[in-house]
Structure 1
Amino acid sequence: MILTVTPNPALDLTWRVDRLIEGGTHRADAGAARAGGKGLNVARVAHAEGADVLAITTTGGRVGQEFAAELGASGVPHALVPVVAETRRSIAVVDESLGDTTIINERGSNPTDPEWAALLAEVVERLPGTRVLVVSGSVPPGAPDSLLPMLIAVGRDAGVPVIVDTSGPALLRAADAGATVLKPNAAELVEATGITDPVAGARSLIARGTELVLLSLGAEGMLAVTASALVHARLDEPLAGNPTGAGDAGVAACAVLYAEGVRDPEQILRRATAWSAAAVLTPLAGDISPRWTELEQQLFLSYPDPASFRKDPS
């Protein structure tokens, strides 16, 4: 089973407009509301592709009620930990003419220490039979610095690989705690490490204790970086669509392969890049297009010189 943990869930609201004009008034058809947050998106994709999953997250307030109802209707197996704080919302506005998406994320509210303890206890209870633990997404402002290290520690103590997708100082804490796989994007990596060279930045995380870094490069594809290997995957042309959830689909691919016992960076990179690209072709985060098999065959894989990713200081 793949166990996903979402520390800062959100009710994802998506509207599509003909053209987004700053300061303008827009009309749109009814938007879509979906229980989201990065870990839930991972669980949705993995579940849709036939994997055994369980998504653990918190829920609270009136927004949390709508969140729980939608998640229940989705069919994705889940366990919800009740909290007093209102579940946050995430708003995506898709510009149909340009293919761009503007996102506004509420920061979220921090659960109490007993509520965090209940979340951790739920994870520990579900670990028997778990083959991969995924901790994905931001943490609310004010969350204890020990939260991610504790989640990683309980996974490691159970002998379960831990995949983490987060940003900021939490990314460094996850590496220090020994997360098996980290999946930042290029901007998140620079923000966390202060290193502009993406390969050097990724290997600084490996030096802290992680085994594999899957680094999203947007339209330029994805890198798989280990202490000794560097693999680059990309399509010949970027795809137009909604990139929201593309990284989560890549994490889902990695989790599914890890659950199957696959550890080859090239194989993981190929599937993660294909699923990420397939997510761009769907309107909502948490879905991927069935074209992913076709996209996987179209990928260009290379083993570049690390220096090729360094920016020219001039």
Structure 2
Amino acid sequence: MIITVTLNLALDRTLEVPTFTPGRRHRTVGQVTMPGGKGVNVARALKALGQPVIACGLCGGATGTRIVEALNDESILTSFLRIREESRTNTAVLDPTTGLHTEINERGPSVSAHEFELFREKLIYLAAGASIVVFAGSLPRGLDADAYATLVRDVKKLGVTTIIDTDGEQLRHAAKAEPTVVSPNELEAEELVGREFNDADDRAHAVAEIVSLGPAEAIMTVPDGCYAQVREENELAIYRAMIPPLEAVSPIGSGDAFLGGYVAARYLGREPADCLRHGVACGAESTQHVGAGVLDPARVERLADAVEVTRLALGDRVF
């Protein structure tokens, strides 16, 4: 079983608005409303790929009820802890004439220390029957920046693989908790290591630098694929996985689809390079749909053949 954790659950609305211009009145030509938050998006991708997954986290108010009911309609198993304050609603505006999208994300509810402790107990119970736990997304108000780190340490004690995708201070704390994998995008990775990346060599060194901060492995997503330092048998290897660009319908949530694809392949016991290939194919395929985590498994398998995975040599050392 795979568990995804979404502490800042959301109802995501994507509006298609041709020639969107700030400050003007517009009419939509399409609208999609669906449960969101990064962990939920990863769960949606895992469900599409046929892997057993439970989406858990914190939900509150009428919005939280609507989100859980919608997940049930998608046949995604859930186990959310009810909290006092209302879950958030996020809005994205997609201009189909340019491909540009604008996101407006609410801050979300404030979570009490008592509510967080209740969720810790729930997660420990659920994780006892899991192989992988994925922590993804932002933290709601009221939680300390080390909240993910606390949960990672709880789950690690059970011998479960821990994977985290977040940003900022919560990512820094989580990395120090020594999860199995951290998976930031390039901007999040730059913030984590404290410098900008100028070229491919910089990016390859960055994933090794991230591993030195605590996690066993690191994957950094970039627009055309990823860089990763992963463990192969008794050694670490650095890989570059890339795919030819596709004309995107919507890039929103492609990183979540990538992570879902990677986790699905890892759950099935595939080799690390194959896991990266599958993740990149899922991320690319998801850009052909409106809705985070939405993908076509049949097309993923065809796209996987186009993903090039290369083992990299850095300096005088082959990783």
TM-score (norm 2): 0.90
Alignment of 1:17-28 (within 5 A): 17-28=17-28
2:231 aligned with 1:223, yes or no?
Answer: no
- CA offsets, 1:185-237, max 9 Å, x none? 1101112221223333322221122122111111x321122484221121223
Q: Is the 8 A contact 1:236 1:300 kept in 2?
A: no
> 1:69: how far off?
2.3
> 1:286: how far off?
1.9
**Residue 206 and residue 5 in structure 1: after superposition, are their counterparts in 2 closer, same or farther (change >3 A)?**
same
Alignment of 1:63-82 (within 5 A): 63-82=63-82
Aligned to 1:258: 266
CA–CA separation in structure 2 for the residues paired with 1:284 and 1:132:
24
- CA offsets, 1:119-153, max 9 Å, x none? 11111111222010100111123312331112111
2:28 aligned with 1:2, yes or no?
Answer: no
Q: SS where residue 305 of structure 2 aligns?
A: helix
CA–CA separation in structure 2 for the residues paired with 1:237 and 1:53:
30
Aligned to 1:234: 242
Alignment of 1:125-274 (within 5 A): 125-196=125-196, 197-218=202-223, 220-226=224-230, 228-262=236-270, 264-274=271-281
CA–CA separation in structure 1 for the residues paired with 2:203 and 2:169:
17
Amino acid at match of 2:183: K
CA–CA separation in structure 2 for the residues paired with 1:26 and 1:213:
42
- CA offsets, 1:253-277, max 9 Å, x none? 2222222233x33112101100100
> 1:6: how far off?
0.5
Q: Is the 8 A contact 1:132 1:258 kept in 2?
A: no
> 1:104: how far off?
1.1
CA–CA separation in structure 2 for the residues paired with 1:292 and 1:144:
38
Aligned to 1:113: 113
Amino acid at match of 2:186: A
Aligned to 1:32: 32
Q: SS where residue 179 of structure 1 aligns?
A: coil
| Greater mean alpha carbon deviation, residues 297-306 or residues 268-277 | 297-306
CA–CA separation in structure 1 for the residues paired with 2:91 and 2:192:
25
**Residue 305 and residue 141 in structure 1: after superposition, are their counterparts in 2 closer, same or farther (change >3 A)?**
farther
Percent of aligned positions that are identical = 29
1:296 corresponds, among 281, 284, 304, to 304
Amino acid at match of 2:77: P
Aligned to 1:284: 291
- CA offsets, 1:142-193, max 9 Å, x none? 3123311121112211111001000011111111101111110110111222
**Residue 194 and residue 97 in structure 1: after superposition, are their counterparts in 2 closer, same or farther (change >3 A)?**
same
- CA offsets, 1:48-90, max 9 Å, x none? 2111110102111232232222122221000121111110111
CA–CA separation in structure 2 for the residues paired with 1:73 and 1:268:
29
CA–CA separation in structure 2 for the residues paired with 1:121 and 1:173:
21
Q: Is the 8 A contact 1:224 1:266 kept in 2?
A: no
Aligned to 1:312: none
Amino acid at match of 2:72: G
| Greater mean alpha carbon deviation, residues 106-115 or residues 194-203 | 194-203
Q: Is the 8 A contact 2:17 2:30 kept in 1?
A: no
> 1:306: how far off?
4.5
* Count of residues in Structure 1 that have an aligned counterpart in Structure 2: 305
Aligned to 1:310: none
| Greater mean alpha carbon deviation, residues 285-294 or residues 10-19 | 285-294
> 1:29: how far off?
4.0
Q: SS where residue 298 of structure 1 aligns?
A: coil
What's the RMSD between the two structures over aligned residues? 1.7
Please identify which structure carries the higher strand content: 2
> 1:30: how far off?
5.6
**Residue 97 and residue 29 in structure 1: after superposition, are their counterparts in 2 closer, same or farther (change >3 A)?**
closer
CA–CA separation in structure 2 for the residues paired with 1:91 and 1:306:
42
**Residue 186 and residue 306 in structure 1: after superposition, are their counterparts in 2 closer, same or farther (change >3 A)?**
farther
Q: Is the 8 A contact 1:172 1:205 kept in 2?
A: no
